[in-house]
Chains A and B, each alone.
Chain A
């Protein structure tokens, strides 16, 4: 987010990040980490509750953890109306900042510096770009592999379903173990009725982009050990058939290969995070943690003891 702030500003999108941290924590976080967007302090989780996002899996028994939201992001338009929102099945998963900008603007804006591969044949140009971040992969952060067709006038390609004998467009992204790919997102097709044959087709023409969301898990980029390989290879297999209203080219498969970097995630400076070879924060989180624990424990000190006891027990079990 910090790295992408300038892009939000350029796109005229204001950025707000809300947590249950106290103001002092946020001041230090903003100053030491160079955060330029608005950090909001919801210490009693009032707004988190107002939005219906309070994490009810936690209870007051979970001491200082109670009060956090189910993490997610809303993107709103000029009127404050939600145009898009992103919530995941794991707190580890997050959208790349660029995807929030795309959602707000309603189109994909690709960086010139993003890793890319191109293929040009029979007048049909195809490019594959890793979109999001600096074109690197980080544990749990969702990037998009954008495959763009540049079709000459008169040619189209097909979306499912197709009549027998025609090949629909298919894009498969292959990467190393530990890379998870999600279902491809395609723009809507245009209907095409061929009178002579009496068939209806679903087609794309002109310049058309497909997005395959992907993210690495711990097997590829862990948060708990240094990265052992700086770069990995992604292969994009593109199968399609291009036709005019009268004739068809043969179906073809092209493979585009791009090399992308692996990157550490940012972790707060706390004893549990440090020493794993990850990118540690510039500010010391320990005093903030103490304040947080104290604030939450004040009402019920016994809960805190219970919590510490449970944590110790879990750590012992995990060591065995």
Chain B
């Protein structure tokens, strides 16, 4: 497949217009604001252990990354 360049100049191996390549809308929501406490949650980790975010973090600083997928 021919690589097509998007309006921001990025190349990717999927055709333009494909939903995986959509740029984010200008007013895309970005969740909790600076100064907010991150909402707490529990999710399983890669080894099946339930992880409660704030409990696991304890008194550490943290970076919480939301990414699209490890598959594609």
Contact = CB atoms under 8 A, between A and B. Distances in A.
Contact of A84 (B5, B34, B45): B34
A78 B61 contact: yes
Interface string B6-41: 101111111111111011111011111111111111
Interface string B44-72: 11111001011011011111111111111
Contact of B72 (A30, A70, A268): A268
Contact of A65 (B19, B29, B59): B19
A222 interface: yes
Given A14-B56, A292-B71, A81 B35 contact: yes
Given A19-B70, A39-B45, A72-B66, A65 B33 contact: no
Contacts of B59: 78
Contacts of A315: 1, 15
Contact of B70 (A26, A81, A222, A225): A26
Is the interface on chain A under 10, 10 to 19, 20 to 34, or 35 or more residues?
A: 35 or more
A47 interface: yes
A55 to B, nearest CB: 8
B30 A53 contact: yes
Contacts of B60: 12-14, 78
Contacts of B70: 19, 21, 25-26, 29, 39, 268, 285, 288
Contacts of A88: 24
Interface in A267-287: 268, 270, 272-273, 276, 285
A49 B5 CA distance: 31
Nearest to B3: A224
A252 interface: no
Given A14-B56, A224-B11, A225-B11, 13 more contacts: A13-B61, A13-B63, A15-B62, A20-B69, A38-B46, A57-B19, A68-B68, A71-B68, A80-B37, A80-B57, A218-B5, A218-B11, A276-B3
A76 B53 CA distance: 12
B36 A72 contact: no
Nearest to B18: A314
B64 A73 contact: yes
A75 interface: yes
Contacts of A306: none
A314 B71 contact: no
Nearest first, the 4 closest Cβ-Cβ pairs linking A and B are A217-B9, A224-B3, A218-B11, A26-B46
A230 interface: no
Contacts of B31: 51-53, 72, 74, 85
